[in-house]
Amino acid sequence: MFPQVEELLFAAAVSAAIVSSVAVVKYRSLFYAAVALAILGSANAVLFALLGFVLVSVVQVLIYVGATAAFVVFAVLMFKELPELPAPIRATSAVVGSAIFATMAAIIVISGVGTEGRATWDVAAMGLLAEYWLPLLVVAITLTAALVCGVAIASGEGE
Amino acid sequence: MIAPLYFLLASAAVFALGAVGIVSSRHAVRMLMSAEVMLNGSLLALLAAAATTGYAAAPVVAILAITLAGAEAVTAVSVIILLYRKLGTLDVQQII
């Protein structure tokens, strides 16, 4: 990939991820917050691909954005919004968030992790199919069972 | 090539925003979505760190985590729907 295109993609994806994270937290409408969550998943998928993990990026789009976010988007249509919390609590949460970011950024910069390197995705694909096929199978069954159980729980069966 | 350091910083920002969402809301669905935001930040951090260290199993862990997160979100939303039908509210302070 051309370096400038890569940098532009990175800037766009990071901007989309941060703006959609703010939207999930701050949007009054739950529906639009859920849509923002789907956008965050897509932006994350672009970042995964830029890191060299194309397979993880595809899984993120297929499972996280395609299934989970779509499910949440339709589910939140049933709910009502609550009134906003008082300003002191919102201010406290902003302080907490800033403290978390500052701490994590300091740890990342001081530890020197992430200064160079690039992964290849074929290693992950081969590992998943050759060495980790049983966890993959279990996870696939778990996801299917969770979807079926989710419908059963929401419909209140067994009461 | 973009250094994974910038990905790690972006993941820290996304994680912190998710934490703000959990602290600043009493709505069960919004708290769940904020936890999902934090999960996205964590996944990005995992893969950015793996790109540096060359830890080969990291993408496998990420794929399993994405799938389990999907299962968890679906189940949690279903439980929230049931709670809403039974209690008529999603205010976690009233539910507790």
Would you say residue A20 has pLDDT above 90?
yes
**A157 — pLDDT class (breaks 50, 70, 90):** low
| Between B75 and A82, residue with greater pLDDT | B75
Q: What is the pLDDT of residue A159?
A: 56
pLDDT at B11: 93
Query: Among residues B83, B75, B72, B70, which one has the least CA distance to residue B28?
Result: B83
pLDDT at site A147: 77
Q: What is the pLDDT of residue A13?
A: 92
| B positions 56-95 inside 8 Å of A (CB) | 56-60, 62-64, 66-75, 77-82, 84-85, 90-91
Write down the mean pLDDT value for chain A: 78
Tell me the pLDDT of chain B averaged across its residues.
87
Q: Check whether A71 has a pLDDT greater than 90.
A: no
Nearest CA-CA partner of A42 in A11, A73, A26, A64: A64
Residues of B in contact with A18 (CB under 8 A): 10, 13-14, 17
Residues B9-25, mean pLDDT to the nearest whole number: 92
Q: Which residue has the higher pLDDT, B2 or A40?
A: A40
Query: How far is Cα A14 from Cα A24, in angstroms, rounded to an integer?
Result: 15
pLDDT of A129 above 80: no
Query: Tens digit of pLDDT for each residue in B41-59?
Result: 999 999 998 888 777 778 8
Q: How many residues does chain A have?
A: 159
Q: What is the pLDDT of residue A128?
A: 67
Q: What is the DSSP string of chain B?
A: ---HHHHHHHHHHHHHHHHHHHHT--BHHHHHHHHHHHHHHHHHHHHHHHHHH--TTHHHHHHHHHHHHHHHHHHHHHHHHHHHHHHS--BHHHH-
Q: Do B36 and A37 touch (CB under 8 A)?
A: yes
Q: How many residues does chain B have?
A: 96
Q: What is the DSSP string of A62-95?
A: IIIIIIIIHHHHHHGGGPPPPPPPPHHHHHHHHH
Task: Indicate if the pLDDT at residue B17 is higher than 80.
Answer: yes
The interface predicted TM-score (ipTM) is: 0.90
Structure tokens at A87: 């300003």
**Residue showing tokens 């969402």:** B21
Cross-chain residue pair A76–B29, CB shorter than 8 Å: yes
Contact between A89 and B24 (Cβ < 8 Å): yes
* Residue A37 one-letter amino acid: L
Q: Provide the pLDDT for residue A99.
A: 80
Q: What is the pLDDT of residues A113-126, one digit of tens each?
A: 655 555 555 666 66
Facing B70 at nearest CB: one of A63, A115, A117: A63
pTM over 0.90: no
**B11: distance to nearest CA of chain A, Å?**
9
| Among B1, B26, B82, beta carbon nearest to A82 | B26
